[in-house]
Amino acid sequence: MHRRLGDHARFAGRAPEQREPRMSSLRSQCHACAIGIVSAAFAVLAGCALIAPPAPTTPMTPTAADAQFAGISKRYLDEMLELTPVAATALGDHRHDAALDDVSAAGYGRRVALARELLASLRALDPTQLSRAHQVDARLLTSELEYQIWRVEQLREWRWNPLIYTELAGNSVYLLMARDFAPLPQRLHDVGERLSELPRLLAQVREVLDPARVPRIHAETAVKQNTGVLTLIDQLVVPQLGVLPEDERGRLKTAIGRARTAVTQHQLWLEKRLLPEAKGDFRLGAELYDPKLRFALDSPLSREQIRARAQSELTRTRADMYAIARAILPGRPNPPPLPATPSPDEQQAAIVAALELAYEQQPPRDQVFEAARHAFEQAQSFVRTADLVTLYDDPLEIIQMPEFQRGVALAYPRTGPTRRCGHTCANTTRARSTI
């Protein structure tokens, strides 16, 4: 249920005053091209979405099938989130904040068994007897359950991707401390409970990962990310110890000590065992990539069809970039040829030359975050002016990427959908950080 296009389209921050996008500088023109690519991606995804018929003019009376579906969906939220407590925290469900996932083979087996039971219950329903909203939700839930089963049984990522575990360990602490959803002493108590379970989780990780199947790039990234959970402890947890009574503070210190030992032991395993033996291929191959793409987009479009659309849009975007280059390069030192109808090599040379000018406008290291905030305001203003998607007024904070998540350029941990209020964080990285 986390893969809905609508969820991604809601990425928004605190709304500044609306303004016309400023396109006077070269950097702004390059931003416009980038925004064009993003908007094209939205168009492709929108084309992939199923088109629902018009809503009925009068609300439907809930049926027995609606009541059954409500029970199935409640069971999913209750039982599946109990099996994945860190994901529950991310979704804003805090009933399991003191627990940590079971990532053993048996633990994954329990998730699959529950998913199969829920799927059987869904398929027993007559969809024509469901309300329009429940028909949509039933399709989404069916797809999500099928994906969970496929991911465990066919993709088997839990056997070869160590990054899902570095993220899990980091989020087990970070999600409890990053937002004030409960009194600090309660959140610190839950952090302590999770840290007490961290040695068990990391031992399970070493048991289920098959080093020979792990791609080397995954192993290298895991080596760099693993100790990030200790950074979180030092930065977010240790400074707050003073708010706890002495007995609670002692228990949390003990849990922190156990966690430090476990992470250090796991780091040695990553460096001495996993990394040297990591021989897997990071390429999934068509047999796995095609169904993963279908699950990700919830679309019947084939990989070839999506690629054709993307290639067409890339051609159009590069033509726009060349037009900008022709407008700004004349008069510059040693400009490349700029014919009206360029060859592929001429087009590429002009685009590279224009981008080199844009690269000269990099902010100093101490102004990276301010530049990111300004770029976000420009992008938000453009999206509102062009009326591309609805932007919500949820507050957004641009922060430095936590160490355990580094290895990508951008991420945005959203407020969980089961929470009624909160803020979204956009994580970015400073120059020379791992990208």
pLDDT tens for each residue of 127-139: 999 999 999 999 9
Residue 19 is encoded by which pair of tokens?
A: 């303004």
**According to the model, what pLDDT value does residue 409 have?**
54
C-alpha torsion 24→26→32→33, nearest 10: 150
Banded pLDDT at 405 (limits 50, 70, 90): low
**According to the model, what pLDDT value does residue 193 have?**
98
8-31 mean pLDDT: 35
Q: Kind and range of the H or E element at 62?
A: none
- Listed residue (428, 421, 419, 425) closest to 174, CA to CA: 425
Banded pLDDT at 361 (limits 50, 70, 90): confident
Which DSSP symbol is given to 19? Answer: -
pLDDT tens by residue, 200-217:
999 999 999 999 999 999
**According to the model, what pLDDT value does residue 369 have?**
84
Map out the domains of the chain as residue ranges: 64-296, 303-360, 367-426
- 426 forms beta bridges with 398
Q: CB-hemisphere CA count at 13 Å for 139?
A: 15
Banded pLDDT at 187 (limits 50, 70, 90): very high
Residue type at 179 in one-letter notation: R
**According to the model, what pLDDT value does residue 413 have?**
54
Whole-angstrom CA distances from 356 to 72, 181, 279, 410, 420 are: 56, 45, 38, 23, 45
pLDDT for 412 beyond 80: no
As a whole number of angstroms, the distance between CA 57 and CA 138 comes to: 21
The three-state secondary structure class of 136 is: helix
| 392: Cα separation from own chain's centroid | 19
As a whole number of angstroms, the distance between CA 265 and CA 248 comes to: 26
pLDDT tens by residue, 53-74:
445 544 567 899 999 999 999 9
**According to the model, what pLDDT value does residue 391 have?**
86
DSSP result, 321-332: HHHHHHHHSTTS
- Listed residue (363, 361, 326) closest to 342, CA to CA: 326
Long-range contacts of 362-367 (CB under 8 A, 24+ apart): 362/431, 365/430, 365/431
- Listed residue (47, 197, 49, 65) closest to 126, CA to CA: 65
Greatest C-alpha distance within the chain = 77
pLDDT tens by residue, 28-42:
444 444 434 334 433
**According to the model, what pLDDT value does residue 17 have?**
33
pLDDT for 335 beyond 50: yes
User: Is there a contact between 252 and 241 (Cβ–Cβ < 8 Å)?
Assistant: yes
- 425 forms beta bridges with 397
The strand pair at 424-428 and 396-400 is best described as: parallel
What pTM was computed for the model? Answer: 0.69
Residue 77 is encoded by which pair of tokens?
A: 């939220």
Q: Which residue's entry shows tokens 């009624």?
A: 420
Banded pLDDT at 303 (limits 50, 70, 90): very high
Count the helix, strand and coil residues of the chain and give each as a percent rounded to the nearest 5: 65, 5, 30
pLDDT for 27 beyond 80: no
